[in-house]
Structure 1
Amino acid sequence: MRSLPLFLKVAGRPVILTGTGEAADAKRRLLERAGAVIVGEGDGEARVAIVSDGDAATVVRLRARGILVNATDQPDLCDFTLPAIVDRDPVLIAIGTAGASAGLAKALRQRLEAMLPARLGALADALFAARGAIRARWPDAGDRRRAIDAALMPGGRLDPLQAGAVDAVPAWLGEPGGHGDAGLVSIRLLSGDPDDLTLRAARLLGTADRVFHAADVPAAILDRARADAVRIVADAPPRMPGDGLSLWLSLG
């Protein structure tokens, strides 16, 4: 990754905005949606700034004060970039290209906008409201994560791409079983290119607790696994993979 994606809470906080014109107006609308208090360059409390006209001298002055700066259309001057956003509050999907192409980010946002149901945010709210019931239903953290993963998978009880998913939360909590995948699953990769992963392999990588793999499995494949999944280099599938879902990956 060229940068670390973060969601910054700016509601009620000062954010510097400089410049005029259409670019400044667009940034102002974005900041207002996020609840920021928009201030000028002279504000002494702000720690974040957007230089909408990309003026290098302004960037230098602000950086000298320890302020993180975004300079419109000047990726080399940016401490952070502003992504294209799909807003299904409280669900936010940010699409960035490290400043390489705002047009590409916009095109991807438009595709995702068409795919994601309007009630996606309501599903997030329903799962948040059900946290206590979910913990009571699955006291073990591993079981709980696997149950949620299984429910949210394509075709699952709470498939987020299905508009009716939010209404299924109470029934899902009352269903027996629902622990999701467990045991050891072997996956023979078609190649070292992550684009060649099958949908099933991609899903399993996203949910597995640990990934056992041959030494020649490339990092590009392993990066598709959960960030907190354990990666273990091995010569053969393990006899005792441990609790939860484990994968054995090999090439060819």
Structure 2
Amino acid sequence: MPSPAAADRLFALFADLRGRTVVVVGGGAVAARKVEALRGTGARIVVGAPALDPALAQLAADGGLEHVEGRFDPRWLDEAWLAIAATDDAAINRAVAEAGEARRVWVNVVDDAELARVHLPARVERGPLQIAISSGGGAPMLARLVRERLETQFDESFGALATLLSRHRERVRARWPDLARRRRALERLLAGPLQGLLRRHRHIEAERAFDLALKPDGDAAAARGHVALVGAGPGDAGLLTLRALRLLGEADVILHDSLVSAEVLQLARRDATRISVGKRAGDHATPQEQTNALLVELASAGRRVVRLKGGDPFVFGRGGEELEVLRAAGIDYEVVPGITAAAACAAYAGIPLTHRDHAQSVRLVTAHAKDSLDTLDWPALAQERQTLAFYMGVARLDVVQAQLIAHGRSPGTPFALVENGSRPEQRVVNGTLTDLSHLARLHAVQSPALLIVGEVAALATTLHWFGAAPLGDAVPLAHAA
């Protein structure tokens, strides 16, 4: 066979093996992987080898395959439609290939593109939906890399969607007999809420949405928009969930906070409209009411909207308020959690939020405004053996320091201020509670920054692993200059 570089391209197809004999030559781990790929196809699987590894032996005992014991005999392929040579003996593999050629049986030879007449691709399987990737046998690691990337883009809802569409194929053809109209209708249907409902395991509602789309006036309903509240995490794009990444790739419009990093936004669909609705302390650029109205307006116009929030939508992100507005407007929505600042900043600073010797509980607290500070239960917050994580508190550190000490927290309690946690410019300032506001001013700590108070904060000095070592009483270089 010519080398893959010189050969014409391979012809891709999917084979119906139901009731047909497939012979696998070899009884080791490689053969076991090939047998596993064949299971579920309905093929009659015959494995020929002197002995079987434990997994194959168990399958044979359970009736999942037939074992022909002994060294390869060309007659094994007399009834085969497909054969796979999966031994570590090059001579045997060549004999299988030659026997297949003589009998016009397609033969795959594992890791030998020259001998193979058929290649088994890397696959992404989602129910009846399969995506096959081949490099022509010349670069299997590349095919594997492509498969791994596709795995992140196609979740299990694609399998459920393929099953639903297959089940109702004749109804779809009857509803839109004209091929061009059918394609346009299906494009509208697939852009609607159907897949989102399947993704959230709301199968009855998905069936209803499908039935509605097939009605004469169903086009408008199928075009109804959708809002996803997505947590963008603290800034490091590598901390996004797979679901968040998929939604960013599907979005028509992205409404994002000012705390969402440029690295995260770069992962979004290139032609998606990006709208900043950011808020920072002292700079309420976009009122919440305006953001709410915009979400309803865009979704009502049939857009797929991602409301992208720094951290987690439900931790001081006003996500609940936005869902209440969407619910009242009858807009379909979903929520994708993100890594909240307390978890991310602590981890990137080397601070365990809980520790058997130091802290048995964690409290997440907002110090955004004077009113919120006045309503806090300071005696409870001042108790020992707990970790406090203050969000949005840079402007009120003096109040936090004073209240904790006044209500009984030791002035020697360690703290850590994590500025721009998880980002390349991350800084960590360590000290004790009595010096909190002084050290924050000395090092010019700016928002976004998270304050961690508790004995565990001292561990940042020894467990830090990301970015520069924590700062303390030393004057930063910018000030020293």
TM-score normalized with structure 1 length: 0.62
2:42 equivalent in structure 1 = 35
* Cα displacement (A) at 1:178: 9.4
1:45 to 75, 79, 86: 79
Question: In the aligned structure 1, how far is the partner of 2:83 from the partner of 2:193?
Answer: 39
Q: How does 1:1-252 map to 2 (within 5 A)?
A: 2-39=9-46, 40=48, 41=74, 42-53=76-87, 55-152=93-190, 156-157=191-192, 163=199, 167=206, 168-174=209-215, 175-176=218-219
| Aligned partner letter, 1:85 | R
**Partner of 2:11: helix, strand, or coil?**
coil
| Aligned partner letter, 2:142 | L
* Cα displacement (A) at 1:135: 2.6
Q: Classify 1:78/1:145 alpha carbon distance in 2 versus 1 (closer, same or farther; 3 Å).
A: same
1:188 equivalent in structure 2 = none
**Partner of 2:39: helix, strand, or coil?**
helix
Question: In the aligned structure 1, how far is the partner of 2:159 from the partner of 2:195?
Answer: 10
> Structure 2 regions of 5+ residues with no counterpart?
1-7, 49-73, 224-268, 272-481
**Partner of 1:77: helix, strand, or coil?**
coil
Question: In the aligned structure 2, how far is the partner of 1:169 from the partner of 1:118?
Answer: 18
Q: Classify 1:4/1:173 alpha carbon distance in 2 versus 1 (closer, same or farther; 3 Å).
A: same
> Structure 1 regions of 5+ residues with no counterpart?
181-197, 201-252
Aligned length: 180
CA displacement 1:93-138 (0-9 Å, x = unmatched): 1111111222222222222222212122221121122223323332
| Aligned partner letter, 1:157 | G
**Partner of 1:69: helix, strand, or coil?**
strand
* Cα displacement (A) at 1:59: 1.0
Shifted more, 17-26 versus 130-139: the winner is: 130-139
Q: Larger Cα Rg: Structure 1 or Structure 2?
A: 2
TM-score normalized with structure 2 length: 0.34
Question: In the aligned structure 1, how far is the partner of 2:270 from the partner of 2:10?
Answer: 27
Q: Classify 1:77/1:17 alpha carbon distance in 2 versus 1 (closer, same or farther; 3 Å).
A: same
* Cα displacement (A) at 1:81: 0.5
